[in-house]
């Protein structure tokens, strides 16, 4: 045991830090889901599966109060990609109780157009924009408040896509799912093309 202690001590640098270059062998992988004391933990991830739907079952729980969802989506054809929640049985929530409001901005080579983006009694969250097929990715950032509790659920969504070299589209909206329900999951639905395998999705639980 003494020799192990001496070997460790010999690799302490003058700064007081351990010399990482002295480490060898295979280090065990660490799952963030098993760490405690963290404010953000990845609870789910996926790449595009080549279909029109990307769903996440049972990714919400009582463990976290907030969830951050990041999605970088590439489509095989021009497609509007909308979002729906799933209930505690992971059944898609398609009732007309999605309420949201916000705005969009389209900048085409310096010429800017501003529009209202809103939905009152819709059956999904819709950015009212399309991702062009086999073109730059559409990026989604969705923050959801306490979806697993049996209450109405608030959310914010930001969206951005470049649909041409000099054409940018950005949308921001906030809303509520206007029914008390416990949600366990979420899904992205394409109106037309398939979600390409280069698409990436990450879901984080926030305490």
Residue ranges per structural domain of the chain: 38-206
Say which CATH class 38-206 falls into. Answer: mainly beta
- Asked whether 177 and 33 are in contact (CB, 8 A), the reply is no
pTM: 0.81
- Asked whether 48 and 196 are in contact (CB, 8 A), the reply is yes
- Map residue 77 onto helix, strand or coil: coil
Question: Tens-digit pLDDT profile for the chain (207 aa)?
Answer: 555 555 655 666 666 665 666 656 665 555 555 555 568 999 999 999 999 999 999 999 999 999 999 999 999 999 999 999 999 999 999 999 999 999 999 999 899 999 999 999 999 999 999 998 887 899 999 999 999 999 999 999 999 998 877 889 999 999 999 999 999 999 999 999 999 999 999 999 998
- CA-based nearest residue to 173, from 153, 157, 160, 155: 157
- Asked whether 158 and 95 are in contact (CB, 8 A), the reply is no
What integer pLDDT is reported at residue 102 of this predicted model? 98
Using only C-alpha atoms, what is the Rg of the chain? 22
Q: Exposure of 201 by Cβ count < 10 A (0-12 exposed, 13-18 middle, 19+ buried)?
A: buried
Q: At 20, give phi and psi (nearest 5°).
A: -65, -25
* CA angle, residues 81, 71, 164, in degrees to nearest 5: 65
What integer pLDDT is reported at residue 104 of this predicted model? 96
- Map residue 34 onto helix, strand or coil: helix
User: How many angstroms separate the Cα of 150 from the Cα of each of 62, 84, 145, 164?
Assistant: 11, 17, 12, 43
- Map residue 58 onto helix, strand or coil: coil
- Asked whether 143 and 201 are in contact (CB, 8 A), the reply is no
């Amino acid at each position: 045991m003494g020799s192990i202690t001496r070997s460790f001590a010999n690799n302490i640098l003058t700064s007081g830090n351990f010399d990482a270059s002295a480490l060898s062998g295979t280090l065990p992988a660490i799952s963030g889901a098993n760490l405690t004391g963290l404010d953000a933990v990845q609870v789910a991830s996926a790449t595009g599966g080549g279909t029109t739907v990307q769903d996440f079952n049972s990714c919400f729980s009582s463990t976290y109060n907030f969830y951050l969802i990041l999605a970088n989506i590439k489509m095989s054809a021009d497609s509007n990609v909308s979002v729906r929640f799933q209930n505690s049985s992971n059944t898609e929530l398609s009732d007309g109780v999605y309420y949201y409001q916000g705005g969009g901005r389209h900048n085409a080579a310096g010429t800017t157009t501003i529009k209202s983006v809103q939905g009152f009694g819709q059956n999904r969250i819709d950015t009212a924009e399309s991702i062009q097929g086999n073109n730059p990715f559409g990026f989604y950032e969705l923050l959801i408040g306490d979806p697993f509790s049996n209450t109405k659920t608030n959310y914010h969504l930001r969206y951005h896509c470049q649909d041409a070299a000099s054409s940018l589209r950005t949308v921001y909206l906030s809303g509520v799912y206007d029914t008390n329900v416990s949600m366990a999951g979420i899904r992205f639905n394409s109106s037309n093309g398939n979600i390409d395998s280069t698409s990436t999705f990450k879901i984080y639980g926030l305490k």
